[in-house]
Chains A and B, each alone.
Chain A
Amino acid sequence: MTRSPRLAGAGAVVRRRLLVAVPVLAATSVGMFALGAASPVDPAKQYAGAAAFTASEENLAQLRANWGVDDPLPVQYLRWIGNLVQGDLGWSTSRHEPVASVLAARAGWTLLLIGVSLALVLVASLLLGALAAYRRGGLFDRVLRTAAYAVQSMPVFWLGLAAIAVFALALGWLPAGGLTDVTATSTSWGDVAHHLILPVAVLAVSQAPWFVLFVRDAVAESMRDDHVLAARARGLPGRTVLFGHALRTALLPFLTLVGTHLPELVGGAVLVETVFSLPGLGAVTVAAALGSDFPLLAAITLVTTAVVLAANLATDLAYAAADPRVRLDG
């Protein structure tokens, strides 16, 4: 079997990453479990809700026995983590259904929101950042940078409320929240798209400054590279030099940074979903937190972390595959 020489070390890298990620995630899960065990909330009463006031002590004891919440903590931890590894994410006490089915029903909307926003941010930041770098210190560069710093200092939920105030309430162009029209009886994609314009735009705008500033700095840097100067000296048009030469060099490091920025996007998505009352993971997370729903919260946090780690690894491997100068040694 012949392997691409560029990805020669890929297997070793994957193994080494796992060697660190698995113990760290395991340690984190112990920490989370300890925090959950120290929590003053009684899961049986939590589960019973208002009925806890009238439920007999036997019923509550039966609930505790069913879940084994009175077992020694290490036993409980091993049971929880064992189930988790086998794909059983547990039972959500705030939503009264399996955690896995909550994730299955909700994660899609969050992924859609994050995916579309990320695509928008990438296209816009590459375009705007490159244009700003072309005339460094020029009017466009200064305006864009000032705008980026201003947006960067706005909390995303406040930006969302401002967008609702302007585009939904004052102008009446777009709906203020929800996924479908209140009168709708079924989910049509056109309706959903119409409802997603504002949330996607808000998430994209709030994440854009970081990407725009990075692209701008990287392209400005590569505008001074020899091959870019040579291209200009040959008299190639500005657009070709900018997008064909300068941006191309700056593109690769950008790729890995996108991976490291994913956690920010997840946090932003949670807040945007709350502002626009979207039925994604955000609303469930907040409800689970208010109800101290340990299985659901822990599963959401650990699963997203695993997804982000996998995405980071994928971008690093893609980076190595795309750039022959990069050697996979870490």
Chain B
Amino acid sequence: MADLTARVPLLRVARSRLRLRPGRAGVLVAGLVLLVAVAGSLLAPLVWPLDQSAVALDQTRLAPSWSHLAGTDDLGRDVAHRAVYGLRVSLLVGAVAALVATVLGGVVGGIAGTLGGRVDRILMRIVDTIAAMPHLLLGIFIVAMLRPSLGAVIASVGLTHWLSTARIVRSELLSLRTRPFIDAAISGGAGRLRVLTRHLLPHVLPRLALATTLMIPHAVWHETALSFLGLGLPPHLASLGNMINDGQGSLLTGAWWASLAPGAVIVVVTLAIAVIAARWRDRLDPRVRAELHL
């Protein structure tokens, strides 16, 4: 999934022969950032291996320098190096959790949107009620009961983030159902299954892909928030949330850089995904022009 987000804008940029109009420059930069982020987190173990448990107690809390671009933390570990691995874990968790949420939301929204009527009303009321649960609290509850682990974090994100996808799929299906081409297909003799697979799905899938992409930053935040609270991934594992949590201690002793790099990585990747998703949405729905042109 993360791979797709990097590929799509690049194709588009290539097609436009790199003419830098205001909006395009942002998309180009965002595409490059995402490409570097995805390639970096995929290739890191080959190019720049990290021993997760290694410490260097003679190099603790060194300020950023040429040998340690983002400084070192309490245990003398290179912050920039661990941030690359943190991003790797966060993107992995984010992408898998976003997929889980998309499947859940797609199924619920799909049932509500294709059946409509009473089923739709009941399902959407349920969605509204669950949306009133603070999802961080629900996420904490899930992780606490399953004991903190990679699987628990993914379950926690997936189970709390499917609501928006369900709403998007459902409203898209409901509006598609009233369009003439569906009537035409039915009067042409197409059965339920054919209408669903040949006419409805092709319209819903791009939107679902966009929703999944937009979900990744939310999933990453949720994971980092859980890790920051000490409820996410095991503490020795370099994840962005764990690193910010570790950095909290060194911050009070003056080493502000330990939390800076992992946070900055989250911000930059989130912004890049937002810029690309905004342009993608413009393409899907030219009538509603998103105004995100950074």
Contacts and interface: CB of A to CB of B under 8 A. Distances in A.
Contacts of A176: 252
B271 A149 contact: yes
A133 B291 CA distance: 13
Interface string B263-289: 100110011001000000000000000
Given A38-B145, A270-B229, 11 more contacts: A20-B128, A35-B142, A155-B244, A270-B140, A271-B228, A288-B144, A289-B141, A292-B144, A294-B145, A297-B137, A297-B144
Given A169-B252, A292-B145, A301-B137, A150 B267 contact: yes
B134 interface: yes
Q: Which secondary structure dominates where chain A touches chain B?
A: helix
B271 A153 contact: yes
A285 B137 contact: yes
Contact of A155 (B137, B140, B225, B247): B225
Nearest to B133: A305
Interface in A232-277: 260, 262-264, 266-267, 270-271, 274-275
Interface of A: 20-21, 24-25, 28, 32, 35-36, 38-41, 145-146, 149-150, 152-155, 157-158, 161-162, 164-165, 169, 176, 260, 262-264, 266-267, 270-271, 274-275, 285-286, 288-290, 292-294, 297-298, 300-301, 304-305, 308-309, 312
B136 A155 contact: no
Interface string B123-149: 001101111111111101111111100
B230 interface: yes
Contacts of A262: 132, 134
A164 B129 CA distance: 36
A312 B138 CA distance: 19
| Leading 6 A-B pairs by shortest Cβ distance | A267-B136, A289-B144, A158-B263, A153-B270, A266-B134, A24-B129
Contacts of A24: 125-126, 129-130
Contacts of B254: 169
B60 interface: no
Contact of B267 (A153, A161, A260): A153
Given A270-B137, A286-B140, A263 B267 contact: no
5 contacts: A149-B274, A149-B292, A153-B217, A157-B225, A169-B251
B136 A271 contact: yes
